[in-house]
DNA sequence: TTGTACGCGTTATCAC
DNA sequence: GTGATAACGCGTACAA
């Protein structure tokens, strides 16, 4: 493998000059820089990341910590993050916590020596633990707000308030919420937004906590019918699709008998049914913003916006309609 | 951060001894080793991966290359791989190629300096490219066989032959195959297995290539009905569930009018409907086997078994039944 | 603007 | 079984 020393020799300069030409181009005369860059091209030189890491203390690796990959929700977030990381000449590594606070802590400790910083998505650990961790390692929180740490979230609650207004206007009073995974910070927020927004004029039945899966949606139908809800809001698309699947399976019409909506939108992944009312947003932007903030933290610049909020827009489709007359 | 030098001093030994006590414990006297390990504990020493990488040439990082994370199929494979990597005291990083051969090549080149080797899952590149790559870097291929490279696959074709026998026994003659992503090596293999196994007594309609999503399953129903198939075999569970969803939605009964089965089993992820006939296998074992083989390659030992095949078992459930009488 | 010299923390190669 | 010592490849004071 060709080393920087080879480049320096080929370009007829010292190693330090060659090094500077790459890392601080503005500090070297333009013709010198060109000779170096030229030699780099010719020899196909690539820095040895280990050597760079040893002197600079930075590995060029960022870690994104997600609860699971079974939920495809995280796929476009990761894609956005990986793309942004590459643009910043870094590599993003994904680590999975399986939704357990203990495993989350283990994993963070395990890789913290290998990476420059973390984007922790929907963390399960307590605020105190996260703050302590963030004090020693650059970290950005996603899909949760921890006071004192940089964070980026989707503004689902605002979208859910819009949705609830539509449901109310359509005459819905008995609404079921298919809630998300136990311990999800976002789930609690969504539930509160729905309850506040529904107000005293209606009744919100919370079903769950539920795993955010198609099958859980299927299995929730029994309880939905028991509660005599005329509208269902699901934590995610898979739950919504599962519910519609099973509702039709048992002869309940959607939306004639029961309206269904989802708080996220996996339709872009082909995992939502085309007719289901959802909240739409740009998950890649979440990942990208997380990486941008993290890179700023690592480089020692304070991020300009320590808390980023990404908007969610209501898309009303045919799975939502007027409330059925009371049975 | 405490360095090995600190440990050596605390234990009253030289650095080289301290180093050996950690990397080749059998080469140091047991009491010396204990003193060193004790100091390691007390001081909370952790090796600096960059320094280790600089001298040893090994980073302790393995890369698993997957086409996408939108398909949750890969989640348990990755989980199994990450777990096995940790057991081997390594970290597994996931890189996504978005199913493009060009991007696959870019990505491999990009991270090849940072990792000790690759597990390339369902690669899109040509055999020649992969062989060339594998010649310079330890690599294991998963979900495809490339002669000359170590590989690990699920034996879906065998399972599909079992399935086809059941379908034939139940009187099905007109069978539709919802095929997978364009360019998928596994998809071609599955299609061939079905065709061979069906033989001349029946007709196989191939619908696709299709993205392996719920929505594509929904949209394939029109063509399924056009072809007057009495049984549908889908490339994956999401396609199967989408098809069932839409079949029922348009008044076609499952399995009375049309039987449906899937060539993989996402039920464990909650992404399959509980009643759908599937092929079941252990995806974590695929990831684990891949990592095991890769670690052997990296350590310079030839893997004992260069080609691993993981069995797939047919699970007949209520989405399959006797063929409807010809309409 | 450029060159010299040293340090980063660990492993490997020798001697002992 | 153990201890000096020399790499590993790059960044960066500091001096020129």
Q: How high is the pLDDT of residue A305?
A: 65
Query: B-contacting residues of A 296-325, CB under 8 Å?
Result: none
Query: How far is C-alpha B237 from the geometric centre of its chain's CA atoms?
Result: 15
B100-151 residue pLDDT tens? 899 999 999 999 999 999 999 999 999 999 999 999 999 999 999 999 999 9
B37-95 residue pLDDT tens? 999 999 999 999 999 999 999 999 999 999 999 999 999 999 999 999 999 999 999 99
Work out if B140's Cβ lies within 7 angstroms of strand D.
no
Residues B16-40 have a mean pLDDT of 94
Nearest-CA residue to the C1' of C6? A55
- Topology (CATH) of B156-281: Rossmann fold (3.40.50)
Q: How high is the pLDDT of residue A325?
A: 66
Number of alpha carbons in the 13 Å side-chain half-sphere of residue B306 = 10
Q: How high is the pLDDT of residue A177?
A: 97
Residues B181-196 have a mean pLDDT of 93
Work out if A29's Cβ lies within 7 angstroms of strand D.
no
- Cβ(B32)–Cβ(B21) under 8 Å? yes
Q: How high is the pLDDT of residue B305?
A: 66
Question: Rounded to 5 degrees, what angle do the CA atoms A215, A217, A223 make?
Answer: 120
Alpha-carbon span B172 to A284, nearest angstrom: 45
Does B235 have pLDDT greater than 80? yes
A114-154 residue pLDDT tens? 999 999 999 999 999 999 999 999 999 999 999 999 999 99
Q: Where in chain B is the domain with CATH 1.10.260.40?
A: 1-46
- pLDDT band at residue B323, thresholds of 50, 70 and 90? confident
Q: Which nucleotide is nearest to A1 (CA to C1')?
A: D9
Q: How high is the pLDDT of residue B325?
A: 65
Share the mean pLDDT of chain A.
93
Q: Choose among B50, B76, B248: nearest Cβ to A50.
A: B50
Q: Where in chain A is the domain with CATH 3.40.50.2300?
A: 156-281
> What Cα–Cα distance (Å) separates residue B231 from each residue in B165, B198, B309?
13, 12, 28
- Cβ(B21)–Cβ(B36) under 8 Å? yes
Q: How high is the pLDDT of residue A327?
A: 44
B191-231 residue pLDDT tens? 999 999 998 889 999 997 999 999 999 999 999 999 999 99
Alpha-carbon span B284 to B84, nearest angstrom: 9
Work out if B32's Cβ lies within 7 angstroms of strand D.
yes
Nearest-CA residue to the C1' of D1? B28
- Listed as ranges, residues in chain A with pLDDT below 50 are 327
Q: How high is the pLDDT of residue B257?
A: 93
Q: Which nucleotide is nearest to A24 (CA to C1')?
A: D11
DSSP letters spanning A59-100? -SEEEEEES-SSSTTHHHHHHHHHHHHHHTT-EEEEEE-TT-
Q: What is the DSSP letter of A270?
A: T
Tell me, yes or no, if A273 comes closer than 8 A to chain B by beta carbon. yes
Work out if A34's Cβ lies within 7 angstroms of strand C.
no
Work out if B27's Cβ lies within 7 angstroms of strand C.
no
Nearest-CA residue to the C1' of D11? A55
> What Cα–Cα distance (Å) separates residue A42 from each residue in A36, A39, B317?
10, 5, 62
Size of interface A-B (CB pairs under 8 A): 139
Domain B1-46 homologous superfamily, CATH: lambda repressor-like DNA-binding domains (1.10.260.40)
Interchain contact, B273 vs A82, CB within 8 Å: no
B246-269 residue pLDDT tens? 998 898 998 899 999 999 888 878
Report percent pLDDT > 90 for chain B: 84
Q: Tell me the three state secondary structure of residue B280.
A: strand
Bases of chain D with protein Cβ within 7 A: 1-5, 7-13
Q: How high is the pLDDT of residue B327?
A: 44
């Amino acid at each position: 493998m060709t080393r920087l020393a080879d480049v320096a020799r080929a370009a007829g300069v010292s190693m330090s000059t060659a090094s500077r030409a790459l890392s601080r181009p503005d500090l070297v005369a333009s013709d010198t820089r060109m000779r170096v860059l030229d030699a780099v091209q010719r020899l196909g030189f690539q820095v040895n990341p280990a050597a760079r890491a040893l002197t600079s203390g930075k590995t060029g690796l960022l870690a994104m910590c997600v609860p699971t990959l079974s939920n495809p929700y995280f796929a476009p977030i990761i894609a956005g993050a990986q793309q942004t990381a590459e643009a910043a000449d870094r590599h993003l590594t994904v680590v999975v916590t399986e939704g357990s606070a203990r495993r989350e802590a283990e994993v963070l400790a395990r890789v913290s020596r290998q990476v420059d910083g973390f984007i922790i998505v929907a963390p399960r650990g307590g605020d105190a633990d996260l703050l302590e961790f963030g004090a020693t390692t650059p970290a950005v929180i996603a899909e949760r707000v921890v006071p004192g740490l940089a964070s980026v979230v989707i503004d689902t609650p605002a979208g859910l308030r819009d949705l609830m207004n539509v449901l109310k206007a359509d005459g819905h009073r008995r609404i079921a919420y298919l809630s998300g995974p136990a311990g999800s910070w976002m789930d609690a927020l969504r539930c509160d937004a729905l309850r506040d927004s529904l107000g005293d004029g209606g009744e919100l039945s919370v079903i769950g906590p539920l795993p955010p899966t198609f099958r859980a949606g299927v299995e929730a139908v029994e309880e939905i019918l028991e509660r005599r809800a005329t509208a269902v809001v699901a934590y995610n698309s898979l739950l919504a699709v599962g519910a519609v699947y099973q509702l039709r399976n048992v002869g309940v019409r959607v939306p004639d008998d029961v309206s269904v909506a989802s708080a996220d939108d996996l339709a872009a992944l082909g995992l939502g049914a085309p007719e289901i009312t959802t909240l739409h947003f740009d998950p890649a932007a979440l990942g990208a913003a997380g990486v941008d903030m993290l890179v700023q933290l690592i480089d020692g610049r304070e991020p300009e916006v320590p808390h980023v909020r990404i908007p969610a827009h209501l898309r009303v489709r045919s799975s939502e309609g007027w409330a059925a007359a009371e049975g």
